[in-house]
């Protein structure tokens, strides 16, 4: 058989007696060697120019290694290539340049119409991915980085805009025809970004029974607030207030006025004002105008006596709530008026405050005003 191309060459050397019809058999003329060498060069050049492999299969790849013929590269279809090990598919690049790791052969059917560029598919716990940072883990450990740009390429840093999506983690379940999202965590730009300035928020969503897309149920805002379905429903304030008690029926908005701080102390969510301690002085000389800064007429104003020197069984620093006006006909020593700006105190001409003596008889006893001070609190 004439050896007109590299594919015609025989693995048995004795069968290669010509090159493109040039005799190179035993006792050939010297000129045949020269002509044969030229023919070999031409055939190798032609072979390399048209170098192609068959499609092969995962168990018999077309590009493999000697002694391990079920490991290598094959071509499962048009515009596709795959890598297999031990006769099992390990990686495939699809027609849309999707990379599939594991046994996947095509992009899954996602009801949100997303065709992922990377797919990991394996039976049992093999359907998983892991990132490990070693030697110098730092304070953050391994890193999964999700991001977006308005530019046309990864190195085009056209600035993001308010509410741009930055990354999502979605959780899907199969509905017999495809995958439907059940929950997600979405990061978005919050506000207007700038150089070295990227305010962000996290949205936590779940899919309701009978639905096929998520609804935001809670958000973590840029200022640290934790909100409900809308930012108007603050579940945890930036300063660390957690509402407890009865929840309203509309979207779970808190209607209780009791909040728990992150340090396990209680607080009131309404704007409040507390005055400094005020020296008790009788008559007009003791009149006080206190700017409360609440921006509205206070709904509630409270008066307290603060013990500044031990008396009547009270210790220094103890605070005793009292009422404006009179108690059982006894003069409490001060009245007040309020508006959207100020609280005005008007002490009586003769301050004669009376209290129950907590240490002994619990009888009402006039105080020594030099040992006490006023304190006022208000809530909008």
Q: Are residues 289 and 347 in the same domain?
A: yes
Q: Are residues 40 and 79 in the same domain?
A: no
- In three-state secondary structure terms, 212 is coil
Longest dimension (CA), the chain: 143
Q: Are residues 279 and 213 in the same domain?
A: no
Residue-wise pLDDT for 215-254, tens only, equals 999 999 999 888 888 777 777 766 665 555 433 333 333 3
**Residue 123 pLDDT class (50, 70, 90 cuts):** confident
Contacts of 351 (CB under 8 A, 6+ apart): 280, 281, 282, 286, 331, 333, 334, 369
What's the confidence (pLDDT) of residue 265? 58
Residue-wise pLDDT for 347-370, tens only, equals 877 655 555 455 566 667 778 888
Q: Are residues 45 and 67 in the same domain?
A: no
The answer to whether residue 228 sits within a structural domain is no
Does residue 291 contact residue 298 with C-beta atoms inside 8 Å? no
What is 295-354 written as a DSSP string?
A: SS--SEEEEEEEESS-BTTBPTT-EEEE-SSEETTEE-SEEEEE-SSEEEEEE-SS---E
The answer to whether residue 238 sits within a structural domain is no
Q: Are residues 375 and 347 in the same domain?
A: yes
Q: Which uninterrupted H or E stretch holds 41?
A: helix 30-49
Does residue 96 contact residue 115 with C-beta atoms inside 8 Å? yes
The answer to whether residue 352 sits within a structural domain is yes
How far is CA 76 from its chain centroid? Answer: 39
**Residue 329 pLDDT class (50, 70, 90 cuts):** low
The answer to whether residue 340 sits within a structural domain is yes
The answer to whether residue 205 sits within a structural domain is yes
What's the confidence (pLDDT) of residue 301? 93
The answer to whether residue 174 sits within a structural domain is yes
Q: Are residues 365 and 304 in the same domain?
A: yes
Q: Are residues 120 and 178 in the same domain?
A: no
Residue-wise pLDDT for 7-57, tens only, equals 788 878 778 888 888 888 877 887 777 777 877 877 787 766 666 788 999
Nearest Cα neighbor of 343 from 291, 380, 305 is 291
Q: Are residues 191 and 169 in the same domain?
A: yes
Q: Are residues 295 and 372 in the same domain?
A: yes
Could you give the percent of the chain with pLDDT greater than 70? 82
What's the confidence (pLDDT) of residue 239? 64
Domain span at 179? 165-222
- The number of folded domains in the chain is 4
Q: Are residues 71 and 40 in the same domain?
A: no
Q: What CATH number corresponds to the domain at position 339?
A: 2.60.40.10
Residue-wise pLDDT for 263-310, tens only, equals 555 555 567 899 999 998 877 777 889 999 988 899 899 988 899 999
The answer to whether residue 140 sits within a structural domain is no
Q: Are residues 45 and 72 in the same domain?
A: no
Q: Are residues 307 and 277 in the same domain?
A: yes
What's the confidence (pLDDT) of residue 354? 52
The answer to whether residue 227 sits within a structural domain is no
């Amino acid at each position: 058989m004439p050896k007109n191309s590299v594919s015609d060459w025989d693995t048995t050397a004795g069968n290669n007696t010509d090159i493109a019809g040039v005799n190179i058999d035993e006792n050939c003329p010297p000129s045949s060697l020269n002509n044969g060498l030229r023919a070999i060069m031409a055939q190798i050049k032609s072979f390399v120019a048209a170098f192609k492999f068959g499609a092969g299969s995962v168990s018999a790849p077309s590009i493999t290694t000697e002694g391990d013929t079920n490991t290598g590269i094959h071509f499962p279809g048009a515009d596709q290539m795959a890598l297999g090990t031990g006769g099992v598919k390990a990686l495939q690049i699809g027609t849309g340049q999707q990379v599939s790791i594991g046994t996947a052969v095509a992009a899954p059917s996602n009801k949100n119409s997303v065709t992922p560029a990377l797919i990991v598919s394996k039976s049992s716990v093999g359907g998983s991915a892991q990132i490990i940072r070693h030697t110098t883990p730092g304070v953050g450990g391994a890193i999964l980085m999700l991001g977006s740009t308005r530019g046309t390429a990864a190195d085009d840093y056209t600035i993001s805009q308010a509410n741009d999506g930055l990354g999502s983690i979605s959780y899907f379940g199969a509905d017999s025809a495809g995958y439907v999202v059940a929950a997600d965590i979405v990061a978005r730009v919050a506000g207007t970004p700038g150089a070295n300035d990227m305010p962000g928020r996290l949205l936590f969503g779940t899919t309701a029974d009978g639905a096929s897309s998520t609804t935001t149920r809670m958000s973590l805002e840029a200022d640290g607030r934790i909100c409900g379905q809308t930012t108007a429903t603050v579940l945890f304030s930036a300063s660390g207030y957690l509402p407890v008690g009865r929840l309203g029926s509309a979207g779970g908005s808190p209607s209780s006025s009791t909040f728990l701080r992150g340090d396990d102390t209680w607080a009131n969510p309404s704007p409040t004002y507390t005055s400094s301690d005020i020296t008790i002085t009788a008559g007009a000389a003791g009149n006080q105008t206190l700017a409360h800064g609440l921006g509205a007429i206070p709904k509630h104003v409270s008066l307290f006596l603060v013990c500044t020197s031990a008396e009547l069984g009270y210790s220094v620093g103890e605070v005793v709530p009292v009422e404006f006006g009179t108690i059982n006909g006894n003069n409490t020593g001060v009245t007040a008026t309020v508006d959207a700006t100020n609280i005005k105190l008007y002490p009586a001409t003769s301050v004669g405050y009376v209290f129950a003596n907590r240490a002994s008889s619990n009888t009402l006893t006039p105080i020594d005003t030099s040992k006490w001070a006023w304190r006022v609190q208000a809530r909008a």
